[in-house]
Structure 1
Amino acid sequence: MPKTCFERLTLHGPTMGTRWSVTMDAAPGLDVQALRQALAAAVQQVDALMSPWQPGSAINQLNKAETGCWITLQAPILEVLAAALEVNRLSDGAFDPAVGALVDAWGFGPVRDAPDAAAIRAAARPASRPTHELLELDPATRRARKHAAMQLDLCGIAKGYAVDRMAAVLQGHGVAHALAALDGELRALGGQAGGPAWAVALESPQAGRRAAQGVIELRDLAVATSGDYRRFFDIAGQRLSHTMDARRAAPVRGEVASVTVLARDCMSADAWATALLVAGPGAGLALAQRLGLEALWLLRRSGQLVQLGLGRFGAAGAA
C-alpha cells in the first residue's frame, strides 16, 4: 500500500477579540478553501450566540428575558449552558455563569472600562439559590427560563466550546492530524502525521510579555489556561483580574497566577481552568483530586513561581 504524503498547513482568522488557528497535516485532496470557510463559520456562530459584546446575541436575549418566561435558544448555546451549570454545581459555585453584572460593574464587560462602586454594590446582592437551580433548561424543546434575575456570561467556557466546534469541523472534513487553537485553549486531533504528539508551550504568567513556562504533549486531548496576567487592572498596586469570584462579588486575587487543565474536550478544560483559578490552591486542589482532574497551578510565592501539579502535570508532567 502506498504511503500517504501529508502537507503541513496552517489556517487562521479573527474571532472573539482574538484569533483562531489550526495547524494540520493534510492528506491529498483536501478542499482547503471549503475547510477554511467552515472553520470561520463555526467560530463565528459561537461568537454570535454567546458573546456579551454582540447586542443581538442569544445570551443577551436570554439576559433581557423576563423572569419565569421561556425563551427559545439554539442547540449550541443550550449545550454550553448545560455544561456551565454542571460545573457550577460540581465546583460549589467557583464557576458561575451568572457573573455578567459583576464583569460589567468591575469594568471588564461591554458597559464600562473601569470599576464603578455603585454598580459593584448592585451586582453584589447574593442570589437566593445557586445558579444551577435558578436557570432551567429544556433541551427537548430548546428552551430556557430564569427563576430569578441574572446576567449570564459564558466567557469562561465559550472559547473552549468554539475549539471543540473547530475540531468537529476538521473531523467532518476527514482531517485526522490537527491542533486547533483559540487564544489559550487548544485541542489536538490525534498526533502529528509522522507519529509524535503535538508539543504545546505552557505560557509563563508574566504580564506584558510572552514566554514559555514549560511544554505539554497533546494527542487526542485538550488544554486550557486561566490566569490573572492577560486582562487586569492595577489599582494602588493591587492586581484585579477579569475573572470574577461570584462568592466574593469581586475579581479573583491571591497567589494563583494561572491554572492549566487537561481534558478530553476543550469546553471542559476551559470551564475547569476557570473554576480552579477561582477556588484557589487549597479548595481547588481538593476539588481537582476529588474529581480526578489533571491540573497545573502556578503560584506566586516570595517572588517566585511555584508549580503544583496533578496527573500528567505531576513531577514529570511539564518539562
Structure 2
Amino acid sequence: MGTRYSAVLYSSAPHNTKELEQQLNIAVTRVDLQMSNWRPDSELMRLNELAPGIWMALPTELLWVLHTAIQVGVESAGAFDIATGDLVDAWGFGPKGTPGIASEREALKCQPRLSAATALEFDFGAGRVRKRHPVHLNLSGIAKGFGVDQMARCLEGYGIHDYLVSIDGEFRSRGGKPDGQPWTVAIEAPRAGVRTALGVLQLGDGGLATSGDYRHFYEQDGKRYAHTMDPRLAAPVHNSVASVSVLAPTCMLADAWATALMVLGPEHGSTVAKEYGLSALFVLRDKGEFRQVWIAGKASQDDVSSS
C-alpha cells in the first residue's frame, strides 16, 4: 500500500515470530492485491475496467469492503463515496501523480455524478458484483483500515489477544501491556513537513483512524489542494478541518468515517458523529492556530483519554 505496517504484541504462549511475520505480510499483501488502485492487475482495477452489466466474481474480502463503503456512503449522505476514482486521478492524486487539465476538472464538476450505491449491484449468494453504470472506484479511504483489521484477525487466529497493529496512521488494538497499561498512541499535529504530536489517545478494543489535509497535497496558482475528495463538489475538500481522528469497533469503519467527517466539516460532521455514536477528534484551523473538538460517542473515558 505504499507505506509501512507494524505489530506489537504480548502473549504468554510461545510463538514462532518468523511465522507470525510471514502471515502478517500475507494478510496485508492480499488486501493490496485485491484493492489497490496502483496495481493494474488488482481485482478492483479489473472491476474498474469491466463494462457495465457484466457480472464479476470477487473475493469475499473485497465484497465486504465494497458493501461497507456503500453503507457509510449512505449514512454520511454521500460525503463518503468510493465512486470518485476519476476525481482522484483528475486532481493529481492517482497513480499518474500529476493534475489533469483544469478545463477537464471543471467539466467533471458540471457532470451529474452517480454514487457507488447507485452504480453497483451485488449478488452475495454467488459472490459477485456488476456495475450498472460506468464508474471508477477508489478504496483509498477504507482499504488501509481493512488491512489493519486483517492483521488483527491474523493474530487472533494464533490466540494472541494483546496487540497493537497499524498501517501508517491507522490502528487496531486489543487488551494491553503486561503491566496493565493501555496502548497509547500519538495524534499527529497537522503541520505539513513537521512530525510532532498534538496529543495522545489511550486505546481500548477497536480501531483508530485519522484523515487529514497536511500530508498529501500540492499548491497550484496560489491555492492548496489536498487528497480527500468531496464527492458532492467533485473537487478536493475545502473547509476548516485540518484532521479528524475516529474511534470505531473496526479500523475499516474508523477509516471510512474519518474521511466522511473530514468532508462533512465541523458542524455537520459533529452532528453526524453524535447520531451514529462515533468518538471523534476534530482538529480545526482557527486564525493560524489549532482548535480541538472532541465528540464522545460510545467509547467511555475508561477506553479513551486525550491530552
Do they fold alike, i.e. is TM over 0.5? yes
Secondary structure at 1:85's aligned position in 2?
helix
Q: Displacement, 1:115?
A: 3.9
Contact 1:24 1:177 in 2 (8 A): yes
**2:34 aligned with 1:46, yes or no?**
no
Deviations along 1:105-143, one digit per CA (max 9) or x if unpaired, are 011001342343244245435446532122111221111
Q: What's 1:24 paired with?
A: 9
Q: Displacement, 1:191?
A: 1.3
| Distance across 1 between alignment mates of 2:178 and 2:107 | 54
| 2:306 alignment partner AA | A
**2:160 aligned with 1:175, yes or no?**
yes
Task: Using structure 1 for the length normalisation, give the TM-score.
Answer: 0.91
Deviations along 1:56-113, one digit per CA (max 9) or x if unpaired, are 0011111111111111111110000000000010001000101100000011001342
Task: Using structure 2 for the length normalisation, give the TM-score.
Answer: 0.95
Q: What's 2:193 paired with?
A: 208
| 2:208 alignment partner AA | V
More divergent stretch after superposition (51-60 vs 104-113): 104-113
Q: Summarize the alignment of residues 207-226 of structure 1 with structure 2, pairs less than 5 Å apart.
A: 207-226=192-211
**2:252 aligned with 1:267, yes or no?**
yes
| Distance across 2 between alignment mates of 1:129 and 1:204 | 35
**How many pairs were matched up?**
304
**2:49 aligned with 1:64, yes or no?**
yes
Secondary structure at 1:124's aligned position in 2?
helix
**2:274 aligned with 1:289, yes or no?**
yes
**2:218 aligned with 1:230, yes or no?**
no
**2:82 aligned with 1:97, yes or no?**
yes
Q: What's 1:5 paired with?
A: none
Q: What's 2:175 paired with?
A: 190
**2:65 aligned with 1:73, yes or no?**
no
Gap runs ≥5 in structure 1:
1-15
Deviations along 1:286-305, one digit per CA (max 9) or x if unpaired, are 11111111101000011110
Q: Summarize the alignment of residues 145-160 of structure 1 with structure 2, pairs less than 5 Å apart.
A: 145-160=130-145
Gap runs ≥5 in structure 2:
none
Contact 2:83 2:115 in 1 (8 A): no
| 2:17 alignment partner AA | V
Identify if the C-alpha distance between structure 1 residues 124 and 67 changes in structure 2 by more than 3 Å, giving closer, same or farther: farther
More divergent stretch after superposition (280-289 vs 305-314): 305-314
| Distance across 2 between alignment mates of 1:100 and 1:125 | 16
Q: What's 1:33 paired with?
A: 18
Secondary structure at 1:38's aligned position in 2?
helix
Moved over 3 A (4+): 121-130, 312-317
Q: Displacement, 1:217?
A: 0.6
Deviations along 1:184-224, one digit per CA (max 9) or x if unpaired, are 10010211122111011111101101111111111212100
| 1:159 alignment partner AA | K
| 1:164 alignment partner AA | D
**2:73 aligned with 1:88, yes or no?**
yes
- Aligned mate of 2:149, from 142, 148, 164: 164
| Distance across 2 between alignment mates of 1:61 and 1:193 | 45
Q: Displacement, 1:317?
A: 3.9
Identify if the C-alpha distance between structure 1 residues 180 and 91 changes in structure 2 by more than 3 Å, giving closer, same or farther: same
**2:128 aligned with 1:140, yes or no?**
no
More divergent stretch after superposition (161-170 vs 132-141): 132-141
Identify if the C-alpha distance between structure 1 residues 314 and 234 changes in structure 2 by more than 3 Å, giving closer, same or farther: farther
Contact 1:50 1:59 in 2 (8 A): yes
Task: Report the aligned-residue RMSD.
Answer: 1.8
**2:303 aligned with 1:318, yes or no?**
no
- Percent identical pairs in the alignment equals 44
